[in-house]
Structure 1
Amino acid sequence: MDQKVLILNQDFTALALCSIQKAFVLLYLEKAELVHKSESAILRTISKIYPAPSIIRLQRYVHVPYKGISLSRHNVMKRDQYQCLYCGSTKNLTLDHLVPKSRGGNSSWTNLATACMRCNTKKGDRTPEEAGLTLKQKPKKPSLTAFLAAHAGNFDQNWEVYLRVKEK
């Protein structure tokens, strides 16, 4: 059971993804309600069969002070789909500061890119333009809903309304 379940806040805004098992526990403890059941999975116990959740809504509103994706090595690589933004390689990946730190570049979503060791070494302490490298896409800060949709694995079409996306 690799499927994920979309967790909605009480006001129907997307909060996170969780496993079917975690969602079932929240439903069983009446901390959440079933909004939509999965059409491809069921949960079985010794004596009962339950519909597997696809979308659940929390019974109480959860105040989230920061609605966004935290800046981390893992999340930058996830955003860049674990590919070098210069050559497309998926081997020996590292992070590259587009404007080098030695030149005042900061660690931000728009200044960090996934790069393979070869391209990062070639770039060195220069900007991509100075090193003769071109980015396949310009790095940007992902939105929470787009990040959830892009990395959900098996994307349930019923999530579209809550994530405001057309396709994965």
Structure 2
Amino acid sequence: MIAGRTTGLHASVLALNRHYAAVQVISAKRAFCLLAKELAEVISVEERSYQSLDFGQWLEISQIKASLGDYEEDADWVQSVSFAIQVPKIIRLLSYDRMPRNAVKFNRRNIFLRDENRCQYCGKKFSLHKLSLDHVMPKSRGGPTSWENIVCSCLDCNVRKGGRTPHEAGMKLMSTPSKPSRSPTMQQHLDSSKYRSWKAFIHGE
């Protein structure tokens, strides 16, 4: 086993299409399946340049690093019975031509991610089981279920607000709710230094 390393199979990997446009974030397990089937290649980013590597080349580099004990601080690894392999940060799908979808899914998880698990009334962060969703303009008064009218709220603030508007309840929103320009999951990774190499392939970064 690699000392201090987790299996890494659930680490995140950015998948690019054939034209190097970011498509989606996938698990390391899925990425390795695509690499093993020769449906994808690794994109290794070093400073401002990058190189393409097939699965065999990436495995060889990983084995050299492992033999030298060269484990980067933010790298994830997978340890098999006979070898260790580093989880790539980025892969490129060799025959996938579709462009990424611009639509951001409107769902509970993405709202929590957009609002960073922070109650938009009291400003405090909470674990998921202590959070709920609130209609800024109450649903009973015609308020829509949309990005612009739903916010993350702690249970206490939700009860306090009840079926009133924030103004009526004497409460103030931390920020005006709006639809994210990109997937909150993608943005969460971009905000981490661990995935800084993704920025070169994501429009607007």
Residue 110 in structure 1 maps to residue 148 in structure 2? yes
Equivalence for 2:186: 148
- The normalised TM-score by structure 1 is 0.82
Kindly state the Cα deviation for residue 66 of structure 1 after the two structures are TM-superposed.
4.5
Q: Deviations over 1:49-93 (max 9, x none)?
A: 545311111122254684322111121112111121100231621
Q: Deviations over 1:75-120 (max 9, x none)?
A: 1112111121100231621110111112211111111001112211
Q: Which moved more, 1:62-71 or 1:74-83?
A: 62-71
| Alpha-carbon distance between aligned partners in 2 of 1:31 and 1:130, rounded to the nearest angstrom | 57
Let me know the Cα RMSD of the aligned residues. 2.7
For 1:80-99, list aligned pairs within 5 A: 80-89=115-124, 90=126, 92-99=130-137
Q: Which has the higher strand share?
A: 1
Kindly state the Cα deviation for residue 5 of structure 1 after the two structures are TM-superposed.
0.9
Identical-residue share of aligned pairs (%): 37
Residue type matched to 2:202 in 1? Answer: L
Which structure 1 segments of 5+ residues have no match?
none
| Alpha-carbon distance between aligned partners in 2 of 1:54 and 1:65, rounded to the nearest angstrom | 18
Contact 2:134/2:153 (<8 A) preserved: yes
Equivalence for 1:11: 19
Residue 55 in structure 1 maps to residue 90 in structure 2? yes
| Alpha-carbon distance between aligned partners in 2 of 1:24 and 1:137, rounded to the nearest angstrom | 40
Contact 1:3/1:154 (<8 A) preserved: no
Change (3 A) 1:49 1:73: closer
SS in 1 for 2:92: strand
Residue type matched to 1:127 in 2? Answer: T
For 1:3-42, list aligned pairs within 5 A: 3-36=11-44, 40-42=75-77
| Alpha-carbon distance between aligned partners in 2 of 1:83 and 1:138, rounded to the nearest angstrom | 13
Residue 139 in structure 1 maps to residue 185 in structure 2? no
SS in 1 for 2:88: strand
Q: Which moved more, 1:133-142 or 1:149-158?
A: 149-158
- The normalised TM-score by structure 2 is 0.69
Larger radius of gyration: 2
Change (3 A) 1:18 1:49: same
Equivalence for 2:48: none
Which structure 2 segments of 5+ residues have no match?
1-7, 46-61, 63-71
Change (3 A) 1:70 1:64: farther
Kindly state the Cα deviation for residue 143 of structure 1 after the two structures are TM-superposed.
2.5
Task: State the aligned residue count.
Answer: 166
Contact 1:146/1:165 (<8 A) preserved: no
